[in-house]
Amino acid sequence: MTSVGLTSVGPLARRAAGFVSRHRWSVPLSLSSTVSLLYLENEISDGDVDSIDAVAAGVVHGWRGSMDGVMLACTQLGGGVGMAVVSFAVVAALIIKQRRRTALFMAIAALGTLALSSGLKLLFHRARPADLDYLIQIPSSFSFPSGHAMGSMGVLASTVVVLYAVRAPRLLRTIATLIIGLFVFGVALSRVYFGVHYPSDVVGGQLAAAAWVSVLTGWFYPRLFPGEETLEPAPSP
């Protein structure tokens, strides 16, 4: 390597190190989620997860009849309409409170989740499970990744970020995070429960959402986590 090349490596390395230090949680999370998503899709294409999907789905299908009401509520509330209502309500509340930057974050997070979900379905082109549907009709869209799993994860994880960005009380953040985590899990479980998705579909949806939300949060709030002060400006007068 020439001396010029060696000279240029130093500033590049320092800039890279500075970038990672400013995004100490979002970069690792977004990269690991993306790599895991691509690895999962490759395993699906090779048929290496078929047996795992079959076993996991069989276990969940065995619960049918005992959890119908809860699963119906999760799958209905976690669908496109439910998440659109949540997104609109959060954006509207932020605009009213003059938190325009955070409102923009939430709007981009929600719309980006929808666009990314649709694009990934078309890209991966996976057919739905061949099992007969249970209580609900099997959608006509492709199976991977699960739109419900990705949409609920993307919108509600972004809502948690909003709570941190506006410095909501710690107790509220903690309770909201726990409730959202349980609900997102319930939505993903419901899609397998009704036989409209493979277990790997819902895992893929959540990985894709985690990658998207972490990238966007790192862009808007590079020092939000862990334990750092947000860069959210004070509300406009």
**Tens digits of residue pLDDT in 5-32:** 544 556 777 776 666 666 677 788 899 9
Instruction: Tell me the pLDDT tens digit for each residue of 88-111.
Output: 999 999 999 999 999 999 999 999
Quickly state the pLDDT bin for 80 (edges 50, 70, 90): very high
Residue type, 136: I
The pLDDT score that the predictor gives to residue 223 is 75
Q: 39 versus 132: which is more confidently predicted?
A: 39
Task: Give dist(CA 73, CA 71) in Å, integer.
Answer: 5
Question: Residues 121-148: what's their mean pLDDT?
Answer: 90
- Cβ distance 75 to 190 under 8 Å? yes
- Single out the residue of 150, 165, 147 nearest to residue 104, CA to CA: 165
Give the DSSP letter string of 55-91. HHHHHHHTTTTTSHHHHHHHHHHTSHHHHHHHHHHHH
Q: Exposed (0-12), middle (13-18) or buried (19+): which is 26, by Cβ within 10 Å?
A: buried
* Averaged pLDDT for residues 215-233: 69
Would you tell me how many other CB atoms lie within 10 Å of the CB of residue 214? Answer: 24
Peptide bond into 237 cis (omega under 30): no
Which residues lie below 8 Å from residue 69, measured CB to CB, with a gap of 6+?
A: none
What is the pLDDT of the chain when averaged over all its residues? 89
pLDDT digits (tens, 9 = 90+) for 44-78: 999 999 999 999 999 999 999 999 999 999 999 99
- Mind listing the pLDDT tens digit for each residue in 183-197? 999 999 999 999 999
Question: How many alpha carbons fall within 13 Å on the CB side of residue 162?
Answer: 29
Q: Which helix (H) or strand (E) holds 206?
A: helix 199-220
C-alpha to C-alpha distances, 6 to 12, 17, 19, 43, nearest whole angstrom:
10, 17, 20, 40
Q: What angle do CA 27, 30, 31 make, to 5 degrees?
A: 80
pLDDT of residue 75: 97
Q: What is the largest CA-CA distance in the chain?
A: 72
Tell me the mean pLDDT in the region 204-209.
98
Q: What percent of the chain has pLDDT over 90?
A: 75
Give the up-direction half-sphere exposure of residue 129: CA atoms within 13 A in the CB hemisphere. Answer: 26
